Structure 1
């Protein structure tokens, strides 16, 4: 499966984020690279124009906004920065893969929580433990007098 292509980023399930909604900028990295790190802009900032996206369903976009958290800027972009590797190309691939993984995770619908009640046995065990704890504390208080 090719992650980054000229026409966009394939995120699976037949969805592709158009290349027009993605932009990259290169900055100097703080990670590994020795003297090279001071000369070459190998870190990548990948920006996804989230607010302008029309290819993803609305429910996926809501979950994606929640998952993006602080990576979602006020201007409606999802910003992913990668400086794990020494080479610019590997950092580009890493940023693309991380964005694709984030979108794939947003496609997963959360399982609805089903309300349950505690069983009779668990209630009895809880009350028995509370009585035991209270008795222990009561014994301590009388020993001090």
Structure 2
């Protein structure tokens, strides 16, 4: 889990570009699309173990320089797109750093074992009856 998301966001760089999509004439003159760049390998907030996990799990989103890039142009305002990008980053990192609990194998119940054997016997009997000559 990430210790402090605010410190992590401080390490990110935000750039704005012109966006396509809804917005009418506003699209042509206002830079509403927000690009977030986060240098995973040089982060001071993440531990070395977290950096390696993120690099492995998000390798399709990280470029060759080790920078994770996320963009958003869904909203019509720059502030809302910045919030959306931060939410995407937080969701990506928490999902990447989530550790699944190890499954503990349990013993089969006697009822399930008996049901399996009964089904096998029924199937064998069915096949035996098909092969008999009439």
Alignment of 1:30-69 (within 5 A): 30-69=20-59
- Give the one of 17, 21, 34 matched to 2:8: 17
In the alignment, is the contact (CA less than 8 A) between 1:61 and 1:106 conserved in 2? no
Alignment of 1:56-135 (within 5 A): 56-133=46-123
* Higher-strand-fraction structure: 1
- Secondary structure at 2:34 match in 1: strand
More deviation in 126-135 or 53-62? 126-135
Q: 1:44 to 1:14 in 2, by over 3 A?
A: closer
Q: 1:60 to 1:127 in 2, by over 3 A?
A: farther
Q: Which runs of 5+ in 2 are unaligned?
A: none
Query: What is the CA-CA distance between 1:67 and the residue it aligns to?
Result: 4.4
Q: Structure 1 residue runs of 4+, over 6 Å off?
A: none
In the alignment, is the contact (CA less than 8 A) between 1:64 and 1:102 conserved in 2? no
- Secondary structure at 1:51 match in 2: coil
- Secondary structure at 2:8 match in 1: strand
Query: What is the CA-CA distance between 1:66 and the residue it aligns to?
Result: 4.3
Scaled by the length of structure 2, the TM-score of the pair is: 0.69
Name the count of aligned residue pairs.
Answer: 131
